[in-house]
Amino acid sequence: MSDIKKVVLAYSGGLDTSVILKWLQDEYKCEVVTFTADLGQGEELEPARAKAQAAGVKEIYIDDVREEFVRDFVFPMFRANTVYEGEYLLGTSIARPLIAKRLIEIANETGADAISHGATGKGNDQVRFELGAYALKPNIHIIAPWREWDLLSREKLLAYAEKHGIPVEMKHKQGGSPYSMDANLLHISYEGRHLENPAAEAEEDMWRWTVSPEKAPDAAEYIDIEYVNGDPVALDGKKMKAHEILAYLNKVGGKHGIGRLDLVENRYVGMKSRGCYETPGGTILLKAHRAIESITLDREVAHLKDDLMPRYASMIYNGYWWSPERLALQSLIDHTQKTVNGWVRLKLYKGNVIVAGRDSKTDSLFDPNIATFEDDKGAYDQKDAAGFIKLNALRLRIAANLKQKKH
């Protein structure tokens, strides 16, 4: 352990990482550099600085990475309409490669020997952080305290914090340990405690970003989203930065009860886990992006994207953002987005996102002269369909004839 002189810790100032900071100092006898990322989690980050200073930390990084997070990680993922196991919009997963990137950058800047994180040995995040770190600095030393210490429960962490005078917030009002939570501009997640029983409904007072659909406004709200090359660039005609768009959609979506999810998912390490998520802005963007693609993408290109999307989602969920296969697939996805330009109008109402219109002045493949149910004046010859159907039915007819002969 004495070989480690300096370590960069991904530090939130919460229970886990506050304990880890003290534990690293005591167990490794090393200097700790803290890195706190402002990913739009909606919490004041200066208390993390104060806690780190109180713990004797001399090099403290608190970085506003909101724009980079949404522009360079969230939006590229949404170009693929990425959903894991049919439901999860990967809010936690997509933040990890950015955090890993900054940990390595700070390690290089400060001459640190190692990096450390607060992910448990049961979860996905340990894989995501470490795969990212190794991809960017293959010989970096990684300290994962949850795989080394015996503080293997929230209660033990709280006891350790109390023993060492580490201030901890958000103790549950009933005296139990708090939810395990993760928040950024894309989502907020909840795990543990009451949620460890998948048969139990999530408590209403757990949710932080969204009202229940029952309490959402009785009047629908419309919003227009403009797209350029597959990315949203404006809301209701107002140009905005990437993180500003997502922040606004979170606010309006939360007001209308949009984006709640209760999911039992398959972790990469092999177990099933139950988590609840709030992703109001992401839920809106997924619906909007598919709507603009519906008129601007060729059929086979759209279907190819849908075929590839589950693999792309698994790459992100499992921590392979920096892998050659994800980068190759991203190049294909980005190529398809060159024609994804136009606008989408959505109606938000009591937990629902309803497409109310979409158009592209430059790239729409929708031809009303051909699609019309009225007289198309010869634009489409319906007689052509007979030969098309017969050729596509040929293999079916051959098989059916053979079956009849056997009987």
Q: Write out the catalytic residue numbers.
A: 16, 96, 125, 180
Count CB atoms within 10 A of the CB of residue 376: 15
> Residue 38 pairs with which residues in a beta bridge?
64
Which among 188, 277, 286 has a CA at the least distance from the CA of 232?
Answer: 286
